[in-house]
Every structure is written in C-alpha cells, then in structure tokens.
Chains A and B, each alone.
Chain A
Amino acid sequence: MTETADWTGHIRRIQNSKDQEAFAELFNHFAPRVKAFLMKSGTTESMAEECTQDALATLWRKAHMFDPSRASVSTWIFTIARNRRIDVLRKERRPEPEDLAWGPEAEPEQEDVMSLQQETNQLGRAMAELPQKQRELIEKAYFGDLTHSQIAAQTGLPLGTIKSRIRLALERLRHSMK
C-alpha cells in the first residue's frame, strides 16, 4: 500500500481512538524504511533501531498535529526521522518554524487532502524518471552525505506544483486562524 490517503486514515484512527491496530500496520510499513533511511544517513544499526522506535513513538504522540492538506504521511515521518538523526548524531537542537496547528475549527478540506496526495504521487513518479545519477545526488543530499555547500540547489524536479498546493493550504489555514 503506497496510497497516501490510506495512511492519512491510519493517523486519524490513532488520533481519534488510539487505535493500536492502525499503528501496527503503519509501523510495519514505515519502521523498516525509517531504519534503512537512518542507516544510509550514517547511524549504526543499533542506533538506527533505537531512533526508529523513537520516531514512531513521536508519530503517535503528535498524531493530532498532522495536517494532511500540507504533507503526506511519508513526508511527515521523514521530518520526524530527520530531526531525530540531528538530535542523536549531532547532539543539536533542531529549531522548527512556528507551528500552524489546526484545531477542530480548521479541519482541512477533503479536496485539499486529495490534491496534495496527487501532487505527492506526481513528485514520486517524476523522481523515479530522473536519470540515475541525478536521483542518487538528491538521495545523498537527504541522507546528509552532502554538506550545504555541496548541495546544488536545482533538483530538476517539478516542485513548483506541490509548492503552490502547500501555499494554498497555508493561506486557508491562516485565514481560518483570523
């Protein structure tokens, strides 16, 4: 199962009813990926195991803060794993932007959630179609193998579409907070 919307439902079930079955399914899909990601990012096997468990525990605790009109579940898990890696490998704090958490009064539109999912799938396909060398360079950047001065800013991916989608979601959120 790779459909973003289905995983979004899992997060809702965790948020609404602390659904352990939903969590177990999500865990079985994502934990081995997070562990692979962390090991490719330079952590040892045992550290990656520990961090993966921490990351998935964080997902449970933050389930109510997930906004499916702005991020897919895999995007969100990536950010949690990345921050855990910075914490463990570099012993640094990770300053995050001010949170635009949405309450019940600002429930995202289903249409926005669907659109974001489409954009995310398109991004995934575009990445799969990149020449291998270019794709590897992008992966290296995300595994933390490139210093910031080595990162070339152009990914060659059509990020403009997903950016406008997220931008729209942010505008609606800002509007609902007024």
Chain B
Amino acid sequence: MPDINHHLNEKLLLGYATGSLPEAFNLVIATHVSLCDECRAQVESYEALGGEVLQKCGTVDVSKDALSATLAKIDAGRDVEMPVPISNGVFPTPLHGYVNGDLDAVHWRKIGGGVSQAILKTSRTATVRLLRIPAGTELPDHGHRGTEMTLVLKGAFCDEHDRFARGDIEIADEDVQHTPIAEEGEDCICLAASDAPLRFTGLLPRIMQPFARI
C-alpha cells in the first residue's frame, strides 16, 4: 500500500457508492480505492447506508415464478464467479480491464511538449485518459471547467501547493489554476478524468486542444 496523502472528497465517494457518477469518474475512483484503504472504508460505509435504504424502501411483489426463474438462471449461467487476481503491476485491476494489460500495453499518442496520452473508452458523459509526462516537464498551465481528477500511478508531480505521488489523487474544479511539473527521476504516469474539456491558457495548447481531445 502506498503512503497516500491526497484522497477523494465526500461528494465523489458518495456519488461512487450511489452509482450516480459517469463511468470515467468511476474508473478513476475504483483505481484510487484499490490503492487506498482509507477511501475504501469510506466507500463501503456509504454502501452500508445503501443497504439500509434497500432494507427500508418498501416491497414490490415479484412474479409468482420468480424464484424458479432465478434458479433456472443460476443453472444456466456460470457456476461461480472468481475474484479477479490482485494486480502486481503499475495498474490496479480495474484499470487493466480498460487497457487490456499493464503499462506496457498502452497505446500512447504524443500531444506536444513531450507529453503522451491514451484515451480510454468509456461512456461519453465524461472522459478519462492516461498521461505520460516526462520527468522534469511542465504540463501546460491550465484551468478547469467542471470537475477534473488526476490520479498518480507512477512517478510524481508537484504544483504550487503540493506533491502528488503514487495513489495520490488531485481533485480540481473551476477555481483551480495551476502548473503541475513532473518530478525529476522518472516519467510521471497519471490517470485523469474530466467532465469538461480542459482550458489551456497558452496559444499553442489551445490550437492543439480540439485535435488532441483534451
């Protein structure tokens, strides 16, 4: 377990537990929670609340043959579902499912300034991508519309306020304007989700933006 200093906020944890977030956000949250027992315990306590809601939300009669129909489904289906093995790679298990492998399976595309990205396929209500920022490289200065989450998987980045390393998640909203820099030593790999396009302040990044889908 990495030593995590930057966690999810209550709103996102509750949204994940209730199932109201877009798939792209769910992926980043599930990946962070795989690395962070503090947030895992928080998610599971919100799920406990969901269990209480389920207990007390009343009843609606199921069809007369529902039980036998369900037993038939059990007979027809797979015997048991086995847990997915715990990942020993850079990517926790939930991310494996979207990349079809670990870090070496990613199809990177350069987006300028030495930075590469890989957009992962999710529903369109929000977007999620992997970013590879060369050590010591500054990301374009950018503000945000909507909510953006950036989870560090390898290496680290710093901005004016903080340092983010493996497992740390940065939650940025509209009033955050910052200049993250990847730490010297190794490339920084991040998983970033956004429910709105980023807004770059430099001219070149702004021209690039529509093409790079960031």
Which residues of chain A have a CB within 8 Å of any CB of chain B?
A: 2, 20, 23-24, 27-28, 31-37, 39-40, 45, 48-49, 52-54, 56-58, 60-65, 70-79, 81-83, 85-86, 90-101, 119-120, 123-124, 127-128, 138-139, 141-144, 146-148, 151-155, 157, 159, 162-164, 166-167, 170-171, 174
Contacts and interface: CB of A to CB of B under 8 A. Distances in A.
B83 A148 contact: no
A124 B15 contact: no
Interface in B36-67: 37-38, 40-63, 66-67
Contact of B15 (A57, A91, A148, A167): A148
Q: How large is the interface on B (under 10, 10 to 19, 20 to 34, 35 or more residues)?
A: 35 or more
A167 B47 contact: no
B34 interface: yes
Contacts of A119: 48
A90 B123 contact: yes
Nearest to B51: A75
Contacts of A101: 83
B10 A37 contact: no
Nearest to B54: A78
Contacts of B46: 159
A141 B18 contact: yes
A99 B83 contact: yes
14 contacts: A31-B67, A32-B59, A33-B58, A53-B70, A60-B74, A61-B80, A62-B81, A73-B51, A82-B19, A91-B123, A143-B53, A148-B12, A166-B41, A170-B37
